[in-house]
């Protein structure tokens, strides 16, 4: 990752879909606080930044896989409930058909012509026969209903089996992404620990930096945006936690989802999806509460706060804070 210089926003918005990720918005700011004689360790710091960036890619991939697994778990649960209800219905229909079949056998066990011939009361026999005919017709309809219900049950079971297979694959994907995050973060920590104390301290100071800037007088685009801004401000100083969406810790997309959730709107989980959660506007027209994504693959997401400032969850070790909107190339601005 390069230095934290102000880069001009990209003109136009790249619509390519990529794995949504949070990028270290201010990690390289530490370089400004490092003594000039620290040049031999530039490569180490650059590698730490790169690992944090890759860890955030894996974090957003983890978020996406975890969301998919959750959705599949709910679908499997719903399917199992439907199967149980359908099975109960089939059992009831079978019991009813069994009773009807028994009644017909007991009442109609001889040839109808002989039964009429030997009957003491032919009129009574004919009445009974008429009832049995109606029962038989009703029985046929019940049997068709039972057959249809059993076909539906078989289809439900087949679909449930498919969902369970998808769920298992999704669980494995979650585990893979989780391991990737942990591996990259562990390597980044080892590299940081290899730096001289003064450089580690400078990096830590840069990670904690960020007071409350002048946000100007621009108004939010809506009452909902105003509520989301208030929620995001209340999260200032809370730690970055990968895969978290509050309230005690956040990753970048988790902070946006939590803030707008407090405003009564459910945003998608990943920054890639959040890019398309509303109407895109030019950066020059950004208003407080708008979502700002960075790089062509929606590599990071923040909330515009006014006067060229955003609030965001930067990267591991850096708490929720303000930073300039042009800290990285802007990909899109979305008005939710």
For residue range 81-112, list pLDDT tens digits in order: 877 877 787 777 667 666 655 555 455 554 45
User: What one-character-per-residue DSSP string does 62-101 give?
Assistant: HHHHHHHHHHHHHHHHHHHHHHHHHHHHHHHHHHHHHHHH
CB 153 within 8 A of CB 84: no
For residue range 203-216, list pLDDT tens digits in order: 777 677 667 899 99
Half-sphere exposure of 335 (CA within 13 A, CB side): 14
Taking the C-alpha atoms of residue 183 and residue 94, their distance in angstroms, rounded to an integer, is 57
User: What one-character-per-residue DSSP string does 193-220 give?
Assistant: HHS-HHHHHHHHHHHH--------SPPP
CATH annotation of 39-209: 1.10.287.620
Model confidence band, residue 161 (pLDDT cutoffs 50, 70, 90): confident
pLDDT of residue 323: 93
Kindly name the residue from 4, 22, 177, 252 that is annotated as catalytic.
252
Higher pLDDT, residue 268 or 173: 268
Q: What is the pTM of this model?
A: 0.58
Kindly name the residue from 4, 22, 177, 312 that is annotated as catalytic.
312
What values do phi and psi take at 301, rounded to 5? Answer: -135, 140
- Maximum alpha-carbon separation in the chain: 121
Domain ranges of the chain: 39-209, 214-336
For residue range 191-239, list pLDDT tens digits in order: 888 888 888 777 777 677 667 899 999 999 999 999 999 999 999 999 9
Kindly name the residue from 4, 22, 177, 300 that is annotated as catalytic.
300
**End-to-end CA, the chain:** 30
Active site residue 312: yes
User: What one-character-per-residue DSSP string does 213-257 give?
Assistant: ----SPPPSSHHHHHHHHHHHHTTTPPB-TT-BSSS-B-HHHHHH
Q: Is 312 helix (H, G, I), strand (E, B) or coil?
A: strand
CATH class of 214-336: alpha beta
């Amino acid at each position: 990752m390069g230095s934290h210089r102000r880069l001009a926003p990209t003109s136009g918005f790249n619509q390519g879909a990529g794995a949504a990720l949070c990028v270290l918005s201010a990690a390289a700011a530490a370089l400004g606080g490092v003594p000039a004689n620290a040049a031999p360790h530039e490569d180490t710091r650059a590698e730490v930044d790169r690992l944090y960036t890759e860890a955030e890619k894996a974090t957003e991939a983890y978020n996406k896989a975890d969301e998919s697994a959750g959705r599949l778990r709910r679908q499997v649960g719903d399917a199992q409930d439907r199967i149980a209800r359908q099975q109960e219905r089939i059992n009831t229909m079978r019991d009813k058909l069994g009773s009807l079949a028994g009644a017909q056998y007991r009442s109609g066990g001889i040839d109808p012509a002989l039964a009429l011939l030997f009957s003491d009361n032919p009129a009574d026999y004919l009445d009974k026969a008429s009832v049995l005919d109606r029962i038989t017709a009703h029985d046929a309809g019940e049997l068709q209903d039972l057959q249809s219900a059993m076909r539906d049950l078989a289809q439900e079971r087949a679909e449930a089996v498919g969902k369970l297979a998808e769920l298992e694959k999704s669980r494995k994907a979650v585990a893979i992404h989780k391991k990737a995050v942990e591996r990259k973060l562990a390597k980044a920590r080892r590299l940081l620990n290899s730096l001289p104390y003064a450089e580690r301290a400078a990096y830590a100071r840069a990670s904690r930096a960020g007071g409350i800037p002048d946000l100007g007088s621009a108004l939010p685009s809506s009452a909902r945006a105003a509520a989301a801004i208030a929620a995001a401000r209340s999260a200032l100083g809370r730690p970055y936690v990968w895969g978290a969406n509050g309230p005690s810790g956040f990753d970048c997309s988790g902070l946006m989802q939590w803030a707008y959730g407090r405003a009564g709107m459910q945003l998608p989980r990943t920054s890639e999806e959040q890019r398309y959660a509303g109407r895109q506007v030019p950066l020059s027209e950004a208003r407080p509460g708008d979502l700002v994504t960075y790089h062509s693959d929606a590599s990071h997401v923040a909330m515009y706060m006014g006067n060229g400032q955003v609030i965001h969850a930067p990267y591991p070790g850096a708490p929720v804070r303000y930073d300039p909107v042009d800290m990285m190339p802007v990909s899109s601005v979305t008005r939710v």
